[in-house]
Amino acid sequence: MEALAVRDLTVTFPECDAPVLTDVSFRLEQGDFAVICGATGCGKTTLLRMLKRELTPLCTQQGSVTFCGKPIADLDARTAAAEIGFVMQHPEQQIVTDKVWHELAFGLENMQTPPEIMRRRIAEIASYFGMESWLDRDPATLSGGQKQLLNLASVMIMQPKLLLLDEPTAQLDPIAAADFLTTLHRLNQDFSVTILIAEHRLEEVIPLCSQLLLMEHGTVTMQDAPRDLLSKLPPDAPVLAGMPAAVRLYHALHPDCGCPLSVCEARNRMMPLLPPETVIPDETESPAQTEDAVQVRGAYFRYERNGRDILQDLSFTVQTGELYCLIGGNGAGKSTVLSVLSGILRCYTGKISIFGKPIGDYKHRSLHQGCVSLLPQDVQTVFLCNTAAEELAETDKHYREMLADFPFDLEPLMQQHPYDLSGGEQQLLALAKVMLTKPRLLLLDEPTKGLDAQSKARFAAVLHGLQAQGVTILLVTHDIEFAACHADRCGFLSRGALISADIPTRFFSENAFYTTAASRISRGYYTQTVTVEQIVQRANGNGENT
């Protein structure tokens, strides 16, 4: 039975010459688990919002969208609200109450559900999602993964037939993201809920899906079962760079087997076919020592006088000119570290120095004038103006000259309101605005979320270019592969303390869970291979790490 059909959908925003969606057509059967992927700004978010009537933006629309054979515009209000669910990218934007059980009850109350049915549904959904112990908690006290799970539960309690998700794992750590996607798959299998999810983090979700849709320049170019579609991709297809490690290895090495989708398939079917390791590399040397740009010794911080310590005896250093990636679970204290180093928060004990000077000795905004700049996790907090051009001009009126070498074309965004941009486009605009401040120490909180693989590669080039100019970069990220490919050193933060730090090759080779898919695929076959490129080199007989 057809669950969703989109035919020749073209969407144009007011005062825009070109449509954001052009002749989009696809269909999903009931019970499909479909993933839609494509470059940053290709129209994924707009497409999803066109499928949820209450979130449809102001626009000119041509073509049709039908849900269970009926045009979405003709659905009654109750059906449109309850049977088509939507989970947003930012968990906080969807939470509206002060208690978890209130959040679960909110939709049911608006549907005038009888109290006895409401109580039963809340008890049932809390048990299914394992959140019974949270019911009386304030959602603000939950971790990012818990908030997103709450959003999913508050939608599923309405018993929808179609579930739309817009990059729901973008702000989750790798373990929380995998748990969230596993829960989605279970919902799909247990209740035959049709799922359409837009994602850039494809490593975990591709093996779970039954349909894969590729978007380019505002239209769906391909739709098929994932193995069939990915097997047919040409080796120079831009979208291939964002696919799971197993798929990229298959296209790079062309083994005599079907295209693997998961770590398990790659280990069992592909790795035994590759040449054995002939050269065991020497232990990779650590980078040369330079002066410390950041020095933290015995730092403690808590948000409330009688609350728990968020940072506990935190000690670490970042060397001048280094690209240092800090990883760890949601709630470990990573964003708090950046807020402390940027002077937004102050530790109640411990020593913190920036470029050899105690942070307390920076007076009269001198810390932020050509010294330290922070790009926060919620980039919308840096936007103050009505257009992207005004945002940049507010920081430096000569922004066009200053950003002449910026590798992203921001011109199509200039006359748009920052809040109308996609998550990835907002990230790029905020990065450009921060770069205009010419910092010596650049602090970045989840800067790659919402970016496709090619945009990440260009973003990495920006960071390495800044390093060449002597800029020190401390980057908090859940993007393990980005850290493995581009960091000089990685540190693992847990419960407010730095547990370990090392160069990426050693760091990720020794981790079991916070590691790359390439490392999990190659263990037992090749040593110290944590990226796809390193596995390819080893398979081709080159034992040197890059």
pLDDT, tens digit (0-9, with 9 covering 90-100), for 13-25 = 987 888 999 999 9
Beta bridge partners of 7: 64
Q: Is the dihedral of CA 471, 477, 481, 484 positive or negative?
A: positive
Asked if residue 127 has pLDDT above 80, the reply is yes
Query: Tell me, what's the pLDDT at 283?
Result: 53
Query: Tell me, what's the pLDDT at 288?
Result: 65
Asked if residue 144 has pLDDT above 80, the reply is no
User: Which residue spans of the chain are classified as CATH 3.40.50.300?
Assistant: 2-96+157-224, 292-503
φ, ψ of residue 246 to 5 degrees: the values are -60, -40
User: What average pLDDT does this structure show over 101-126?
Assistant: 94
Reported as a pLDDT band with limits 50, 70 and 90, residue 12 is: very high
User: What average pLDDT does this structure show over 256-279?
Assistant: 91
CA 315 to centroid of chain Cα atoms = 27
How far is Cα 396 from Cα 437, in angstroms, rounded to an integer?
8
Long-range contacts of 331-336 (CB under 8 A, 24+ apart): 331/143, 331/144, 332/493, 332/494, 332/495, 332/496, 333/493, 333/495, 333/496, 334/445, 334/476, 334/493, 335/376, 335/377, 335/445, 335/476, 336/301, 336/310, 336/311, 336/496
- pLDDT tens-digit profile of 346-360? 999 999 999 999 999
User: What average pLDDT does this structure show over 494-513?
Assistant: 93
Reported as a pLDDT band with limits 50, 70 and 90, residue 4 is: very high
- pLDDT tens-digit profile of 160-180? 999 999 999 888 888 888 889
Query: Tell me, what's the pLDDT at 191?
Result: 93
Query: Tell me, what's the pLDDT at 546?
Result: 43
Query: Tell me, what's the pLDDT at 543?
Result: 56
How far is Cα 469 from Cα 471, in angstroms, rounded to an integer?
6
Counting residues of the chain whose pLDDT is more than 90, the rounded percentage is: 67
Q: Is 494 helix (H, G, I), strand (E, B) or coil?
A: strand
Query: Tell me, what's the pLDDT at 278?
Result: 77
Alpha helices in 51-99 (DSSP H): 77-83
User: What average pLDDT does this structure show over 235-262?
Assistant: 92
The half-sphere exposure of 494 on its side-chain side, counting CA atoms within 13 A, is 5
pTM of the model: 0.87
CATH class of this structure's domain 2-96+157-224: alpha beta
Residue carrying the six token digits 């296209």:
251
Reported as a pLDDT band with limits 50, 70 and 90, residue 271 is: very high
Query: Tell me, what's the pLDDT at 281?
Result: 62
Mean pLDDT of the chain: 91
User: What average pLDDT does this structure show over 333-357?
Assistant: 94
Asked if residue 35 has pLDDT above 90, the reply is yes
Q: Does domain 292-503 have CATH number 3.40.50.300?
A: yes
**DSSP assigned state of 480:** H
How far is Cα 374 from Cα 353, in angstroms, rounded to an integer?
16
